[in-house]
Amino acid sequence: MAGPRLGLRIYNTLSRRIEDFEPLQPPEVKMYVCGPTVQDLAHLGHAKTYIVFDVLYRYLTFLGYRVRYARNITDVGHIREDIQVDRIIAGAERERLAPMELVDKYMFSFFSDMDSLNIRRPTIQPRATMHIVDMWEAISKLVEKGYAYVVDGNVYFDVSRYEGYGQLSGVRREELMKHRVEPAPGKRNPADFALWKKAESGYLLKWSSPWGEGFPGWHIECSVMSIKHLGEQLDIHGGGQDLIFPHHENEIAQSECITGKKPFVKYWIHVGYLTVNGERMSKSLGNYVSIKDALKKYTANDVRLFILSSHYRSPLDYSEGVMEQFMEFRRRIEDCYFRVLEARGRAAESGEAGVEFAGQIDRVLEEFLSRLSDDLNTPQASASLTELVKIVNAYLDSRQVPVARDLDKAQQAFSTVFEILGLRPPQVESGGERLYLVVERILRLREELRRQGNFKLADTIREALREAGIQVEDTSAGPRFKVAR
RNA sequence: GCCCGGGUGGCCGAGUGGCUAGGCGGCGGCCUGCAGAGCCGCUUUACAGGGGUUCGAAUCCCCUCCCGGGCUCCA
């Protein structure tokens, strides 16, 4: 029997086509993903991007690659164009904190959000402010090589010196020159972008440099940190679609001019937006839901199943109604998993295992993996998860005494799928031992009533428990209950 | 203005030339004292509109309409 076709194929923004994934130095994979500017709470739009890359990280690891994954923290240098102020400073003023206090607050908030969503920690999370010297060394190199020029304490990248400019985004240099809005004075070319900006005397976030006091431009940090921590050429570089231009376009220009090596990145991967009523979820539109707020209503598994229900490159529309659909879907998956755990306790250790069953499980797993290998098709992969649930439920329905080997097979399949999709295996309610004992005793008495034919009172008890958040189900193997979350 | 994506059944959302996506909801069946869960079936001869290519098109080409995004604020 041929094994599953596991060769990953992935869409590359640079070539605009799906390509076979072949890392530069297998089995190592170097992956860099642009992290957030830690100026405010992260929202579900951020969650979408980082969950997608988390699944990619998990899947590459599953395939046997040794993945070095860097995701940065931007804590300086990201200018808000409207007011020409660093986003960190703007946030600090808003919250009446010192800039680095704001950074601390939201960086740790971000970390905790990522953990809550069961997003695996990258192997390194470098911060821009810890690389200021590295940045000006890189900028100096660009100036020396003639790719950048200094104007009154500012350093700009000279786009005209880099031929490939526009290859990633499709933006044409001539267009950029035409449609500029008020180019900064001293720029040779409107399309040139800042590597280092001069800071006025009272400016809060500034460092000394060969060009005087100032701060780095937004794009240089990612070039510098990725090269420093992963190397001069990367296998994967990703982020949200919004970063294609100018951020990633500029990164390519900077990095290739710094190192002299091409290509800077072999595979560029970009994630589609999370939308609300068709419009992009964003802070400025005010249509965003913070990860913390979302997790007050939904579990991490709900959020992940929702986000993975559409293809990563497509936009996905958020609404509470849709989230409720996914809560229902999640419950069904988790209930099936619980059924397996419960059945394991009363399973026959020996006995004829379901030959057909094992084959079905293998087939559905193989299908699951090959769908992920097809440009990370998580919607199809979650359809495979549904299929797994159906097979397992049907098996449990058909057997009075399930066989241990079959259940182990099923549980293993769930483990594999959960691990790759980053779903937390549902936990049996912990710390509720006393509640559990009380409910068990009530149900034992209720069983007695049912045996006596006193269904009216039995139903009343069931209803009372339901109102208390305890759902009772009468099954052929006896009553079961679960505590509502 | 320039450049990208899209418009799929009640809702969400896969699918790039023929082969059941899937979920949620609704209806019916089996099971059950009832309910719930589960399984099965139906809802599903769906693919913005018009033309074309083809034995065959949601899928390729042309035109039109509508929506979203990028064009140095955003994952």
Closest nucleotide to A44, Cα to C1': B75
Q: So what's the pLDDT on residue A315?
A: 92
The answer to whether A132 and A207 have CB atoms below 8 angstroms apart is: yes
| pLDDT for A431 | 54
Nucleotide nearest A462, from its CA to each C1': B35
The pLDDT score that the predictor gives to residue A4 is 41
Burial degree of A373 (CB within 10 A; 0-12, 13-18, 19+): buried
List the A475 CA – B29 C1' distance (angstroms): 19
pLDDT at residue A469, as a whole number: 84
A245/B51 CA-to-C1' distance in Å: 37
Res A49: pLDDT: 96
Amino acid A183: pLDDT: 65
What is the ipTM for the molecules in this complex?
Answer: 0.94
* Distance between the alpha carbon (CA) of A322 and the C1' atom of B10, Å: 14
Query: b/e map of A93-130 (b: 16 or more CB within 10 Å)?
Result: eeeeeebbebbebbbebbbebbebbbbbebeebbbbbe
Backbone φ and ψ for A275, nearest 5 degrees, come out as -120, 165
Question: How would you write the pLDDT of chain A (485 residues) with one tens digit per residue?
Answer: 333 447 899 999 998 888 999 999 999 999 999 999 999 999 999 999 999 999 999 999 999 999 999 999 999 888 777 777 888 999 999 999 999 999 999 999 999 999 999 999 999 999 999 999 999 999 999 999 999 999 999 999 999 899 889 889 888 877 776 655 566 778 888 889 999 999 988 888 999 999 999 999 999 999 999 999 999 999 999 999 999 999 999 999 999 999 999 999 999 999 999 999 888 998 888 899 999 999 999 999 999 999 999 999 999 999 999 999 999 999 999 999 999 998 988 888 887 777 789 999 999 999 999 999 999 999 999 999 999 999 999 999 988 889 999 999 999 999 999 999 999 998 876 556 788 888 989 999 999 999 999 999 999 999 999 888 888 988 877 888 887 66
Dmax of chain A from CA atoms? 93
Asked if the peptide bond before residue A263 counts as cis, ω within 30 degrees of 0, the response is yes
Which nucleotide shows the minimum CA-to-C1' distance to residue A36?
A: B75
Q: Measured between alpha carbons, how far is A307 from A326 in angstroms, rounded to an integer?
A: 10
Q: How far does the CA of A317 sit from the C1' of B54, in Å?
A: 36
Task: Identify, with chain letter, the residue nearest to nucleotide B33 (CA–C1').
Answer: A455
pLDDT, position A2? 34
The separation, in Å, between residue A299 CA and nucleotide B21 C1' comes to 26
pLDDT (0 to 100) of residue A173: 76
Q: Are A15 and A221 within 8 A, CB to CB?
A: no
Measured CA to C1', what is the nucleotide nearest A87? B73
**Amino acid (1-letter code) at residue A12:** N
Are the C-beta atoms of A240 and A49 separated by less than 8 Å? Answer: yes
Find all residues with CB under 8 Å of A90, minimum gap 6, and list them: A39, A80, A83
**Distance in angstroms, CA of A16 to C1' of B37?**
46
Which DSSP category does A123 fall into? S
Please report the pLDDT score of residue A1 as a whole number.
Answer: 31
How far is Cα A340 from Cα A388, in angstroms, rounded to an integer?
Answer: 12
Helix, coil or strand: residue A176: helix
Nucleotides of chain B in contact with protein CB (under 7 A) are 1-5, 11-15, 21-25, 31-40, 67-75
The nucleotide closest to A48 (CA, C1' atoms): B75
Q: How far does Cα A60 stand from its chain's mean position?
A: 14
pLDDT of A181? 54
Rg value, chain A, Cα: 27
Is-contact A38 A107, C-beta < 8 A?
Answer: yes
Of A275, A86, A90, residue with least CA distance to A194: A86
